Copies of this chain bind each other. A is one copy, B any other.
Amino acid sequence: MKVIADLSVVPLGVGVSLAPYIAACEKILARAGLKTRLHGYGTNIEGEWDQVMKAIKECHEKLHEMGVPRISSSLHIGTRVDKEQSLEDRIRSVEQKMK
């Protein structure tokens, strides 16, 4: 089952500069061979369900290893069986309707 997801990881107990932790997650997602797209409040992810979820788990594990005592992530999970749709398709379909 293919999934289009959006992940926003919030490390707690390590102050207000979160970029090093977000970057560590980005690297894990990229190394997992997933298609990702960083935005201003998270990361779009496209891939197979199990691969995506495995990478997100690794991200939590890595951050705890880096010393983060507590994490609260937000995840949007989109699946559909009516048609194939990529991240680019989704953005393009909205942009076309805005013309």
Contacts and interface: CB of A to CB of B under 8 A. Distances in A.
Nearest to A89: B40
A78 B70 contact: yes
A84 interface: no
Contacts of A96: 19
A57 B61 contact: no
B8 A57 contact: no
A90 B40 contact: yes
Given A42-B6, A72-B10, A77-B72, A22 B82 contact: no
Interface in A30-76: 37-42, 44, 46, 49-50, 53, 56-57, 60-61, 64, 69-76
Given A70-B79, A75-B77, 8 more contacts: A17-B93, A40-B44, A40-B90, A41-B42, A60-B79, A70-B78, A71-B77, A71-B80
